[in-house]
Chain A
Amino acid sequence: MTAASSSSAPETEAATEAATGAPLLEVRGLAYDYGRVTAVQDCGFEAAAGGVVALIGGNGAGKTTTVQCVAGALRPRAGTIRFDGRDITGLPAHEAVELGLALVPEGRQVFQQLTVHENLLVAGRVQRARADLSANLDKVYTLFPRLKERRAQNAGSLSGGEQQMLAIGRGLMTGPRLLILDEPSLGLSPILVTTIFRLIGALNAEGITILIVEQNLHQTLTMADHAYVLEKGRVVRSGGGRELLDDPAVKAAYLGVA
């Protein structure tokens, strides 16, 4: 695995793979309610194996709810979620992880009072990755030398950017085939945002399929093979990343002007 600072441009390579592969993730008619509030309704999208797919949309559009349903953290009211051809609708999160589906949640959610190393160990003990535990640790520490330096420190004492690295590292410890990232650049400095996006590109180049939720429109759409625009819990537009980037309606909807 190459370091985070690798400057390779994996989009083109991933795009060709994406064009030929069958969808690794397929979501149809997804719906979720928080009590009486409908957050997601009739939401559908797919992610081709090896590709980068983005979900974008304004605050409260239902992005987090959608990916949490996919990862099994929430149980949808309706719809189906297929992963690698298998129906995983309603499969609890700890079982979905075992199939190779990892969600790096919004707000990082690192285990604050565990050390950096313990954070990684907890996730690295999933059955699918247990045999590779030490190799995965090496991988994550090579990817994020910063985490290695701070391995004995409590995760709560890390900076925001370091916590995001740890959250991603924790996801990688489970040996995912699909890595879902919910707003990984939230609250990071511009330079760190660029680092994180490079890293995501590098992970994708290694063959990990990426589903990314972002507010950072430009960098996300530049990287994504395909993107879906969510509004009030529905997909209102979709298309190639760069194609959507030039769509004035997307910007308007995204900024909530529409």
Chain B
Amino acid sequence: MLLFLQTTINGLVLGGIYSLAAVGFSLIFGVIGIVNLTHGIFVIAGAYMAMALFAAAGVDPLLAIPLIGAVLFAVGYAYQRTIIDWAISRASVEASLVVTFGMAMVFRNLLQLWFGPDVQTITPSYSFDSVAIGPIRVDMVRLAALGASMALLTGLTLMLARTHFGRAMRAVAQQPLAASLSGLNVRRIHGLTFGVSAALAGASGAIIGIVQPFSASSEVAWTLNAFIVVVLGGIGSPAGALAGGLVLGLINAYTATYVSPALTQAMMFLVLVLMLLLRPQGILGAAYGESR
């Protein structure tokens, strides 16, 4: 029983991080309709930035999130307004798949050159603290990670629901033509969506850095995770990402504890395939209707 509770909590913490790491991927797919294979790069870039800031100035990774988010927002915006937009307007939406795949390889190699191929971890002062909840012990970092993830997901949900920018993003996702006729600059909003997505990915990277080891090559796994989360939860909404992320986290934790740590990947894919067959719209369905 204790083991079960402990495993469940680990799964939920992991799930919270998966959700945050995937939500930007989901947003880009929902609003712009492209599968951004560079997504994992933003996650890992966030982790490296957090590592560098911690090493150079002792900045706590969680406190570095606003700065990391701001930088990656700008990078994401510029990336969409140049390379991605050129690919979409000159070739096709499908071309963005090839372009983002290629860019992911380029960036991965650049990160490897810059930071080396070794696996890294960030260990802030509270790394070895833990909190007792009844008979269960939870690492302080995991608790902080879950809290930060939930706070950012909540912030995104509120922004989408309550602000003009949020409404504009949803309007562009649903009816780009009508959105432009309503005075929205669709390309600019695509760029801003990319910026928000990259910022959130970077934030998740900073959080991942204090919980798990990472390296440049783990970007592939984070893109893949985002893909699975979106299929599980449904496209385009923070709630969908949360549902998908938590399910994925729990599957991962239960498999590692009760089956074998070696089989977590296989189990994730098994669930992915089953989900595609049984409920292709995801647990919560697509946020923006049947347009995509």
Contact = CB atoms under 8 A, between A and B. Distances in A.
Interface of A: 71-73, 92-94, 97-98, 102-103, 105, 109-114, 118-119, 121-123, 125-127, 156, 167, 170-171, 173-174
Interface of B: 164, 167-168, 170-171, 174-175, 177-186, 287-289
Nearest to A129: B183
Contact of B182 (A112, A122, A156): A122
Given A122-B168, A156-B289, A110 B180 contact: no
A97 B182 contact: yes
A94 B183 contact: yes
B180 A73 contact: yes
A174 B287 contact: no
Contacts of A105: 177-178, 181
Contacts of B171: 111, 114, 119, 122
Contacts of A125: 164, 183
B181 A102 contact: yes
A17 to B, nearest CB: 26
Contacts of B168: 122
Nearest to B288: A113
Nearest to A123: B182
Given A122-B167, A125-B164, A111 B181 contact: no
Given A71-B181, A109-B177, A121 B289 contact: no
A118 B182 CA distance: 12
Contacts of A156: 289
Given A113-B289, A114-B170, A156-B289, A98 B175 contact: no
A103 B164 CA distance: 21
A122 B174 contact: no
A170 B183 CA distance: 11
> Which of A98, A102, A113 neighbours the largest number of chain B CB atoms within 10 Å of its CB?
A113
B239 to A, nearest CB: 13
A111 B184 contact: no
Given A94-B186, A113-B288, A118 B181 contact: no
Given A71-B181, A114-B174, A122-B179, 15 more contacts: A73-B181, A93-B180, A97-B181, A97-B183, A109-B175, A109-B177, A111-B170, A112-B289, A113-B289, A114-B167, A118-B170, A122-B171, A122-B184, A126-B182, A173-B182
Contact of A121 (B167, B178, B181, B288): B167
A93 B181 CA distance: 5
23 contacts: A94-B180, A94-B181, A94-B183, A94-B184, A94-B185, A97-B181, A98-B183, A102-B181, A103-B181, A105-B181, A109-B177, A109-B178, A110-B178, A111-B179, A122-B164, A122-B167, A122-B171, A122-B184, A123-B183, A126-B183, A127-B183, A171-B181, A174-B183
Nearest to B174: A111
Nearest to A180: B181
Contacts of A94: 180-181, 183-186
> Which of B168, B170, B178 neighbours the largest number of chain A CB atoms within 10 Å of its CB?
B178
Contacts of B178: 105, 109-111, 167, 170
A102 B264 CA distance: 54
Contacts of B289: 112-113, 156
Which 3 pairs between the two chains have the least Cβ-Cβ distance?
A: A126-B183, A123-B182, A109-B178
A141 B208 CA distance: 49
Contacts of A71: 181
B85 to A, nearest CB: 14
Contact of B170 (A73, A92, A98, A113): A113
Contacts of B182: 97, 122-123, 126, 170, 173-174
Contacts of A174: 182-183
A93 B182 CA distance: 8
B177 A73 contact: yes
A223 B124 CA distance: 74
Contacts of B177: 73, 93, 105, 109
A121 B163 CA distance: 10
> Which of A72, A111, A112, A173 neighbours the largest number of chain B CB atoms within 10 Å of its CB?
A111
A113 B180 contact: no
Contact of B174 (A97, A102, A113, A121): A113
B231 to A, nearest CB: 20
Contacts of B164: 121-122, 125
B99 to A, nearest CB: 23
Contacts of A126: 182-183
A94 to B, nearest CB: 5
> Which of A110, A122, A156, A174 neighbours the largest number of chain B CB atoms within 10 Å of its CB?
A122
Contacts of A112: 174-175, 289
